[in-house]
Amino acid sequence: MTKQAHRLQIGQATVTRISEFNLSHFTPPMLLPEWNSTVLTELPDEIISKMMDATQAHLLLSVHSWLVYDRDRTILIDTGAGNGKARPHAPYFDHLDTPYLKRLRATGCEPEDIDYVLLTHLHVDHVGWNTRWENGRWVPTFPKARYIFARAEHDYFTDPQHLSDRNRTSFTVQKDSVDPVIEAGLADLIEIDGSEPIEGFTFYPTPGHSIAHASIILHSGGETALFAGDVMHNPVQVFRPEWNSVLDAFPAAAQRSRTWALTFAADHQATVFSSHFPASSAGSVERDGSSFRWKFD
C-alpha cells in the first residue's frame, strides 16, 4: 500500500476519501456505554490526539465516502447523509447543506462517472447521497451507476413489524434514499454471503450494527483493503473490541463481527477504510499478543 496526498493505493486500485462533515458531540460514554477512561493509559498519544478533542471530553467522528478507481471502473462505497433531507429524529443529519458533490468533483469525478455504488448498510449516514432533490422529487444522484446492497436490509427497514424508535429514521431513509433507486431500475439487491457481486469486491457478512451489515473486501494487485462500514466507530474499539457502540442494534453479533474484522485485517495485512474514524480514517491493524493495535495511515 502506498500513500500520496489524500489518496491511498491498494494494488492497482486508488482510494480517495470524499468528506461530508465531522461530528464532535459524542462524549465517550454516549457513544461507547462501557467506556472506562483508564483505557487512555494504554493508548499511544498519537491515537488519543486524533480520536478525541483537545479536552478529551468528546470523541471525533467523520462522515464520508470512499471513491475507488479500479480496473477501469469508478466505484463509490457508501454515500453519506445527503442534503436537504428531513430527519426529525436524527437532528445531526436533518436538512444538511454540505459541499459533498463539490468535493467529489474536485477529484475530477462527476456523479455521472460513477459505475457502481456499494453500500455496507442502509442507515441514514451511509445512503443519503444515493439521491438528490430535482424537479420536485428524489432522483438517483449517480444516474449511470448500479447500486449494490443487501436485500435483507431493505426488507427489514420496510417491514412494519420492525418499526420502532430505534428504526424510525431508517424507515424514512428507505423512502427518500433507497426506494427511488430501486424504482429507477438501478438497484441490485443481493444476499450478503461472501460472494463477489462485481469482480474484486466481496461482500462479507458482518451483522450486528444492523441486521445485514456487510464489510466490503477489495483484492487488487496482491494487496487487500477492508471497507469495514460501522463494524467500528472509533479507534478505541480496536483495543477494546468487546465495547459496542450505542448504535449497534444487535450487540452480541456486533462483537463477533468486530472480532472477525480485526482478525481478518491483521492476518491479511489489509488496509482498513473506516466509515467514521477521524484523521485519515484509514489505517492498519496489528496483533498485540491476544489483542490488537491500530495505526493510522
Q: In CATH, what number is assigned to the domain containing residue 249? A: 3.60.15.10
Number of domains in the chain: 1
Tens of pLDDT along 7-35?
Answer: 899 999 999 999 999 999 999 999 999 99
Whether pTM > 0.95 for this model: the answer is yes
Q: Which residues pair with 14 in a beta bridge?
A: 9, 69
Please determine, for residue 3, whether its predicted confidence score (pLDDT) is greater than 60. no
Residue 98's Cβ-side half-sphere holds a number of Cα atoms within 13 Å equal to 24
**Sign of the dihedral through C-alpha 25, 132, 6, 245:** positive
C-alpha cell at 36: 472506562
Please determine, for residue 6, whether its predicted confidence score (pLDDT) is greater than 90. no
Alpha carbon distance 138, 183 (integer Å): 11
Q: 263: domain range?
A: 2-296
pLDDT confidence bin for 5, thresholds 50/70/90 = very low
Residues 262, 238: contact at Cβ < 8 Å?
A: yes
Q: Which of 205, 185, 184 is nearest to 194 (CA)?
A: 205
Tens of pLDDT along 97-111?
Answer: 999 999 999 999 999
